[in-house]
A and B are shown apart, each in its own frame.
Chain A
Amino acid sequence: MALNLKANITRPDDFYQELIDMQRDMSEDDVQLMNAKLILILSNHIGDQETLSEAMLLARG
């Protein structure tokens, strides 16, 4: 499995708060657009198709 599912975020509480705070006052529409951009930006960073497929399948549940 190429996807890292071990805890890897350096400061989990800080990261989570930053994400939530950032979207707190945004409209539903803007949040959706931001999330879509975030997925695209992170996907490009990862790059590897196999890892991306694994992540998408995992997220779908």
Chain B
Amino acid sequence: MLNTYTWPEYDYVQSEDQKNSTSVKRHPVIVIGAGLIGLTAALDCAKRGIPVIVMDDNNTVSIGSRAVCYAKRPLEIWDRLEVADRVVEKGISWKLGKVFFKEDLAYEFDLLPEEGHKMPAITNLQQYYCEEFLVDEVVKQSDLIDLRWKHKLISLTRHDDYTSLQVETPDGVFTMECDWLIACDGANSNIRKMVHASFTGQFFQDRFLIADVVMKADFPTERWFWFDPLFHKNQSALLHKQSDDVWRLDFQMGWDVDPHEATKRENVIPLIKAMLGHGTDFELEWVSIYQFACRRIDNFRYGRIVFAGDAAHQVSPFGARGANTGIQDIDNLIWKLKMVMDGAAPDSLIDSYDEERAFAADDNLLNSTRSTDFITPKNRASRYFRDAVLELSKKYDFARPLVNSGRLSTPTPYVNSSLNTVDEDDFDGTMCPGTNCIDAPIVKDGKDGWLLHQLGDGFTVLIFGDYPENTSISSGDISAEVITVGGQFEDRQGLLTTRYDGGKGAVYLIRPDQHVAARWRTFDQEKITTAMARATGQR
């Protein structure tokens, strides 16, 4: 029991499938795992009109606090699914950070979040709150989402076009079938083992102790990171604020520490006191120790089974890349699944999920491994370089970009994706085919709003400048909604036009996951249709 949070207990209900277990029912989509990623998958399925069953072997939300930081893009995805406002409201937004080396402040940084986005650059919140908010939204959508607690997958049989599942509940074992199975069963995924997927990468010989403490001390809402502090010699430590006056503390413990001893209250308390100062009152809310790995599954798709989140990739916690990247997996997957299920796009579109998200996972793994190499140097030489960087960073600007206490998660653009149409015109700015759409303030019907809310659930053609009237865009069974700046809404501040380099006219073809598929300076219906066919795997 925590002081600040009571875990909800959700009821187990025997399903109709199990009651009538003599006839096995085939479902369109089953999601295994009702964590952050599985629940997000369920909401995105419902958003796109797919009936979905989510099953979890437990009946509550995340025990203990795991993920802490949620970055802008995942928040935008949750905003599309109508849960982000609660997360941001309950969470702690921050932008300042301090890096200490030994007893001194090495330097301070400001994330300098760009103005004119609905979502903040980053929000901190305990994982159990996020899961609870997701469950609340899932329950509201019970016409399409069937959330089943205490349903444990015990084995599966793969077939060409479906999967058969053996499921255990308090009422016994029964069989279910599904066209598509989405595996969101976490880093220790059983489904991954059941399909004999490989899950390889790098293990780090180090351990970290997490402690969540409640305190009313007036530490500022900033991320503080210590390299080799006096209170914890030769190791690193982190202090980060969460909601309800709960603070996340993270201590590097080294490889030789005994995990059982280290998490004992009598050993944890002195460590925390040394960090916070002896006059600070606090209560210990949660403590655990972990060792981490940076690795990923060999393929995100095994026929009719797709993997997402930690089941597909595991990263170090530095940079908040676990949950953030898992949410983006779902954003990428579900629209593709919908089109393939509807027969509007070929089955090969699901292969592009592996192409794009494995690319993103590799980028995350690279960033995560780099942070880890900086935080826990592997030999004496790299320790000297690390310390040299930190000492120089106290005085000299040039060394600060080399300090790596975790690079905060930003979306990986699918720059080489086979779904993109390569630019034939010149554009300025940070966007290109494969990047997610940057948000911008707009005005619609006299009211302030946001660009991302104007993008439809399907493909969107966003136009700056002129285009022929009464135009409809479609490729096969897939059509796009056409919206124009100055038509459906206005860009009064000019930020949208600047961010999309639309001043000289621009036409953007935007995917259902709010990523740019193609763009041109002028409107050409045939080119748009061709690009849409490419973005849906039809050519």
Contacts and interface: CB of A to CB of B under 8 A. Distances in A.
B307 to A, nearest CB: 35
Interface string A9-53: 000000000000000000000001101110111001000000000
Nearest to B402: A40
A35 B402 CA distance: 17
A35 B387 CA distance: 12
Nearest to A29: B384
A36 B388 contact: yes
Contacts of A39: 385, 388
B398 A33 contact: no
A37 B384 CA distance: 9
Contacts of A37: 388, 391-392
B389 interface: yes
B230 interface: no
Nearest to B397: A44
A60 to B, nearest CB: 12
A40 B403 CA distance: 12
> Which of B387, B388, B398, B399 has the most CB atoms of chain A within a 10 A radius of its CB?
B388
Contacts, number: 27
What range describes how many residues of A lie at the interface? under 10
A39 to B, nearest CB: 8
Nearest to B386: A36
Interface centre among A35, A36, A41 (most CB of B within 10 A): A36
A58 B389 CA distance: 23
B398 A36 contact: no
A36 B399 contact: no
A29 to B, nearest CB: 8
B398 A44 contact: yes
Interface string B361-393: 000000000000000000011001101110110
Contacts of B381: 32, 36
A40 B387 contact: no
Nearest to B401: A44
A59 to B, nearest CB: 13
B387 A33 contact: yes
Contacts of B391: 33, 37
A18 to B, nearest CB: 20
Interface string B168-190: 00000000000000000000000
A33 B384 contact: yes
A37 B391 CA distance: 9
Contacts of A36: 381, 384-385, 387-388
A41 B399 CA distance: 8
27 contacts: A32-B380, A32-B381, A32-B384, A33-B384, A33-B387, A33-B388, A33-B391, A35-B384, A36-B381, A36-B384, A36-B385, A36-B387, A36-B388, A37-B388, A37-B391, A37-B392, A39-B385, A39-B388, A40-B385, A40-B388, A40-B389, A40-B392, A40-B399, A40-B402, A41-B392, A44-B398, A44-B399
In the A-B complex, the 4 residue pairs with the smallest Cβ-Cβ separation, listed nearest first, are A36-B388, A36-B384, A37-B388, A44-B398
Given A40-B385, A41-B392, 13 more contacts: A32-B381, A33-B387, A33-B391, A35-B384, A36-B381, A36-B385, A36-B387, A37-B388, A39-B388, A40-B388, A40-B399, A40-B402, A44-B398
